[in-house]
Structure 1
Amino acid sequence: MDYQEEIKHVQFDERDMEYYELLSKQFPTIKDVGTEIINLESILNLPKGTEHFMSDLHGEYDAFLHIMNNCSGVIKEKIKFCFDKELSKYEMEELATLVYYPYEKIKKVKTEGLLNKQWYQTNIYHLIFLMKKLSLKYTRSKVRKAIPEEYLYIIEELINERDHDSICQKNYQQQIIETIISVHMADDFIVVMTDVIKRLAVDTLHIIGDIYDRGSRPDKIIELLMKHHNVDIQWGNHDILWMGAVCGNEACIARVVRNCLNYHNEELLENSYAISLRALERYAVEKYPHLDCYDAMLLCISVILLKSEGALILKHPEYQMDEQLKLHLIKDNQILLGDQKYTLENISQADCCYKCNEQEEMIMTKLKSEFMHSEKLHQHVSFLYQKGSMYLCTNNTLLYHGCVPLDQEGHFIGIEINGYHYKGKELFDFCDQQARKAYFHKESNAIDFMFYLWCGINSPLSGRILKTFERFFINDEKTWEEQRNPYYYFYNQEKYCLKILKEFHMNEKTSHIINGHTPVKCNEKPLRANGKVIIIDGGFCKTYQKETGIAGYTLISHSQGLKLKSHTPFKGIQRVLRINSDIHSQSQDIEDYDHRMLVKDTDIGKELFQQMLHLRVLLYAYERGIIS
């Protein structure tokens, strides 16, 4: 690449000199500059790292863990590529299971009496070879960072051969492996090797929203993500709900508690996050003695929720959510919706207002304090803020969870705050700022806005009118139908998707929108708008699997193209260990690149190129004595 033209434009004025003088402190000699240029140039010409996209995990930890372990089938594909002519199908499946669950697999082999020196040697050799192949797309420096310090020397000696055909080299490596086995370090060594393999298999993990609600262990999912080497998160409406609860939004708190009760996840609150439901339980049993404890608690928190939401809606007319207000319409346990009158059970006229009574306020005060002071929950929400955002533009993909709100004509629409109408990209940026102000600055209006983000019709995380009251109190499912933002009609048409990509400053020809939020049903396709939109919420949540027919979509972007993966439901770890029963994944090639994508073709590559350009200018300045 010719850099001379770029260098000619550098004037070495006062500002330039100041910058390059500072850069010279980091690279004080011509040799230092040259070495770093060589390093960056080599990195730019390596293959692009594999990116893994997942969405709508909804607390389903076991299925999520397995997809993480098999990297949406990448591990099995690499094993087949490396050992197809050497190992049988059964042997390759055994090796894959060892990579997925090394602790459990070793324990099982021990129990069966099959664990011996030969088993260790065979599997360590296979893992070494697999790691070699996976490490080829990275610099040695990056591979080194993936290896725990205590095993760094050993693994480097095993994967970096000096002479493939040397008998001495083979004997040297064999002796290392035999020594590992003889000093009883083989179990730990295998676990470390499998961890490094999984880390090298996927360079970047993108989670496109909704870690929380429905499934029982979102806390374990977040703890797993906190250990990941390179992850980003685009917030979903269920994530923002929990974030709003931690900020102290009472409507969000009531909804979180009701969701946990509705999906029988009380242990998540009480055992994982130390949030007690005892006060709610005592009041509910006292208020509704004719109901069992669980139903009484669910009804009690439902009433508190409707009151809390109603108070916020009345406080903020700019949310334009008056349609959600239903309590004041109830007369003599009946409500008129349209031309149909419905009789309601278990709701008294005293509850038909938008203010909690004294006992309900005491319950909410206690819950609010516990949500805002739960140490573990704060750690998890802090991680969501640290790694998360409303959207992400990366490597020709635009990632967001919900929608880009549009009106009936397909024009951008949003919300008007203090006389300014936020829409399109500006709306996303405004929502991101408000979410951070709510958590870090405790701004009152921003905290209130977390409720709108959760369920507003023009919220980018929701895009629909929730039928909260109807779903709680009316059995007629016709009343449950939720009006959706026109985005969910227009995102099937390419011209509107190109308009959205342009709004976010993306290359319209080469970029894709990666979207979650709406489950893809059996008769639907995850690709929309001539492939410009890829929907990857296919049903991790068990509740949706009857409707979707599958257990989730994930997306893989590697150096040669894009692959969409559809997965069968996960049958449990024990089944995997017993019969090597992996999640069956069907792969669909979405796009094959006309050339292998290199690091220089990525966003990081553009940054590295700029760094290298500055270094070449510094080298030019050194060589001509401009900087000594």
Structure 2
Amino acid sequence: MHKLEGQLIMRNPNYKLDHRLFLDTIDRVNSTVTIDGITYPIKDADFPTINPDDPYTLSDEEETIINELRDSFLNSPTLQKHIKFFIDKGELYRIENNNLMFHALVPLNEDGSFKAVDFGDGVPRSGKQMFDYIDAEVKRLYFAEPSMRKTHELDLMWYLWCGPDSPLFGKNKMTTFERVEIDDSKSHKEKRNAYYKYQDTKDLAIRILNEFGITDTDRAVIVNGHIPVEKINGENPIKAGGSLIVIDGGFSKYYQKTTGIAGYTLVYDSRGLYIVAHEPFVSFEKAIRENMDIHSTTEVENILATKGQMRVSDCDKGVELREQIRQLEMLIAAFECGLIKENNRYRMVKVPLNNR
């Protein structure tokens, strides 16, 4: 994996990830590696497939394995079905009933301004423009003929997973190698984007909502996840005075020692937004013998629950229904004026418009 990542980084200098090229710094004699200018002892310096003179080139055996893995992924009907569903139905962000939902973050500079990023086409983009570009580019690449896909374009998919300025990741690096090979925990640190420094400020929430075209910020909420909420240390999932909610799933046992719970679920109905916290699932045996299933607690903040009960007409669906009614009224008026002829199969019933 690190060999292929190295190749990708070298052919995409705009990613600015040269600091993640470290295979060439491995000292087999002294069992060390140099990362970010610091030399660390490593647990195992025996990497038989790494050529010290050409550390990022795959061996013949590795090339064979990668090709077989690629064929398995591309020819798996179940996986392809899931990916197609993801592409057809998924969006990088969604606005519904004045609520803005995205996975992780909007990349920011250290001063809190929206960060402009060049993803390989020479055009720096920030904020909503960045999200729109990535959403369209991922879908374009999926539907493009394989022969029309350029390697550096496909590299975007990798960058979205672990790139420092990806709106789906938001850290300066992914320290997989360090966590496996280096005991020094300082090397495991992944610095978060400035978004997380300003996440609890009302100003940022309003600026983001406005950036995505939401002007009624008093009745709007940003919903995102990605970073587990450390409830065990008193962290509140409701931030920015109720304008931003973090609902990381957190069901993974790995994170439960950090969060103290098994994540959150956001419930939205006509009366407001509800945060439901889940306790960890212990075991099937306890669930059966002691009736100990997942225990969930509803946590309601007044600021989220007192925005007035919504009706269907207040929702996005209400807007759609009003438009359908308007079009039907226009159709009836056109029929009554003789602009549309009666269909012999279905007789149109005249309904006076002033009675509605």
Structure with higher Rg: it is 1
Instruction: Kindly provide the amino acid, as one letter, of the partner of residue 267 in structure 2.
Output: I
Instruction: Kindly provide the amino acid, as one letter, of the partner of residue 548 in structure 1.
Output: T
Residue 115 of structure 2 is aligned to residue 402 of structure 1: no
Task: Work out which structure has the larger RCO, using CA pairs closer than 8 Å and 6 or more positions apart in sequence.
Answer: 1
Residue 329 of structure 2 is aligned to residue 616 of structure 1: yes
In the TM superposition, residue 623 of structure 1 has moved relative to its aligned partner by 4.1
Aligned equivalent of 2:228: 519
Name the count of aligned residue pairs. 324
Aligned equivalent of 1:485: 193
Indicate conservation of the 8 Å contact 1:519/1:537, yes or no.
yes
1:367 to 66, 69, 83: 69
Instruction: Kindly provide the amino acid, as one letter, of the partner of residue 93 in structure 2.
Output: Y
In the TM superposition, residue 559 of structure 1 has moved relative to its aligned partner by 1.0
TM-score normalised by L of structure 2:
0.85
Instruction: Kindly provide the amino acid, as one letter, of the partner of residue 410 in structure 1.
Output: G
2:46 to 329, 340, 347: 347
SS in 2 for 1:336: strand
Aligned equivalent of 1:312: 8
In the TM superposition, residue 351 of structure 1 has moved relative to its aligned partner by 4.3
Aligned equivalent of 2:91: 389
SS in 2 for 1:566: strand
2:251 to 531, 535, 540: 540
Matches within 5 A, 1:277-288: none
Residue 146 of structure 2 is aligned to residue 448 of structure 1: no
Q: Distance in 2 between the 1:562 and 1:620 partners? A: 41
Q: Deviations over 1:263-314 (max 9, x none)?
A: xxxxxxxxxxxxxxxxxxxxxxxxxxxxxxxxxxxxxxxxxx1100000000
1:461 to 157, 161, 168: 168
In the TM superposition, residue 400 of structure 1 has moved relative to its aligned partner by 0.9
Matches within 5 A, 1:139-538: 305-332=1-28, 333-337=31-35, 340-344=38-42, 345-348=44-47, 350-352=50-52, 353-416=55-118, 417-441=120-144, 442=146, 443-444=149-150, 445-464=152-171, 465-506=173-214, 507-521=216-230, 522-523=232-233, 524-537=235-248
Indicate conservation of the 8 Å contact 1:335/1:341, yes or no.
yes
Matches within 5 A, 1:68-147: none
In the TM superposition, residue 614 of structure 1 has moved relative to its aligned partner by 1.8
Aligned equivalent of 2:271: 560
Residues 401-410 or 565-574, more deviating: 565-574
In the TM superposition, residue 331 of structure 1 has moved relative to its aligned partner by 3.4
**Larger helix fraction of residues:** 1
Residues 414-423 or 425-434, more deviating: 414-423
Q: Deviations over 1:222-254 (max 9, x none)?
A: xxxxxxxxxxxxxxxxxxxxxxxxxxxxxxxxx
Q: Distance in 1 between the 2:37 and 2:90 partners? A: 45
Q: Distance in 1 between the 2:228 and 2:157 partners? A: 23
Indicate conservation of the 8 Å contact 2:27/2:45, yes or no.
no
- Over 3 Å counting, the alpha-carbon distance change for 1:427 and 1:338 in structure 2 is closer
Matches within 5 A, 1:44-55: none
Indicate conservation of the 8 Å contact 2:175/2:190, yes or no.
yes
Structure 1: state its 5+ residue gaps. 1-304
Q: Distance in 2 between the 1:622 and 1:499 partners? A: 48
Q: Distance in 2 between the 1:497 and 1:530 partners? A: 9
Residues 436-445 or 562-571, more deviating: 436-445
Indicate conservation of the 8 Å contact 2:26/2:45, yes or no.
no
In the TM superposition, residue 450 of structure 1 has moved relative to its aligned partner by 0.5
Q: Deviations over 1:21-73 (max 9, x none)?
A: xxxxxxxxxxxxxxxxxxxxxxxxxxxxxxxxxxxxxxxxxxxxxxxxxxxxx
SS in 2 for 1:569: coil
In the TM superposition, residue 439 of structure 1 has moved relative to its aligned partner by 2.3
In the TM superposition, residue 508 of structure 1 has moved relative to its aligned partner by 1.8
Aligned equivalent of 1:93: none
Q: Distance in 2 between the 1:576 and 1:493 partners? A: 41
In the TM superposition, residue 378 of structure 1 has moved relative to its aligned partner by 1.2
Instruction: Kindly provide the amino acid, as one letter, of the partner of residue 323 in structure 1.
Output: H
Instruction: Kindly provide the amino acid, as one letter, of the partner of residue 502 in structure 1.
Output: N
- Over 3 Å counting, the alpha-carbon distance change for 1:468 and 1:569 in structure 2 is closer
Aligned equivalent of 2:344: none
SS in 1 for 2:112: coil
Indicate conservation of the 8 Å contact 1:539/1:552, yes or no.
yes
- Over 3 Å counting, the alpha-carbon distance change for 1:594 and 1:368 in structure 2 is closer
Instruction: Kindly provide the amino acid, as one letter, of the partner of residue 596 in structure 1.
Output: Q
Instruction: Kindly provide the amino acid, as one letter, of the partner of residue 431 in structure 1.
Output: I
Indicate conservation of the 8 Å contact 1:519/1:544, yes or no.
yes
Instruction: Kindly provide the amino acid, as one letter, of the partner of residue 121 in structure 2.
Output: N
Q: Deviations over 1:495-514 (max 9, x none)?
A: 01111111111232211111
SS in 1 for 2:100: strand
Q: Distance in 1 between the 2:36 and 2:183 partners? A: 16
In the TM superposition, residue 488 of structure 1 has moved relative to its aligned partner by 0.9
Identity, in percent, stands at 38
Structure 2: state its 5+ residue gaps. 342-356
In the TM superposition, residue 469 of structure 1 has moved relative to its aligned partner by 2.9
SS in 2 for 1:458: coil
Instruction: Kindly provide the amino acid, as one letter, of the partner of residue 609 in structure 1.
Output: R
SS in 2 for 1:587: strand
Q: Distance in 1 between the 2:136 and 2:339 partners? A: 44
**Alignment root-mean-square deviation, CA:** 2.0
Matches within 5 A, 1:52-67: none
Q: Deviations over 1:414-473 (max 9, x none)?
A: 421332112111111111122223322142233211010000111010111212332232
Q: Distance in 2 between the 1:499 and 1:569 partners? A: 36
Q: Deviations over 1:539-568 (max 9, x none)?
A: 211111111111110010011111110011
Indicate conservation of the 8 Å contact 1:538/1:548, yes or no.
no
Instruction: Kindly provide the amino acid, as one letter, of the partner of residue 125 in structure 2.
Output: Y
SS in 2 for 1:389: coil
- Over 3 Å counting, the alpha-carbon distance change for 1:346 and 1:335 in structure 2 is closer
Q: Distance in 2 between the 1:538 and 1:548 partners? A: 11
In the TM superposition, residue 407 of structure 1 has moved relative to its aligned partner by 0.5
Q: Distance in 2 between the 1:400 and 1:351 partners? A: 42
Q: Deviations over 1:110-167 (max 9, x none)?
A: xxxxxxxxxxxxxxxxxxxxxxxxxxxxxxxxxxxxxxxxxxxxxxxxxxxxxxxxxx
Q: Distance in 2 between the 1:338 and 1:425 partners? A: 32
- Over 3 Å counting, the alpha-carbon distance change for 1:322 and 1:340 in structure 2 is closer
Q: Distance in 1 between the 2:95 and 2:89 partners? A: 14
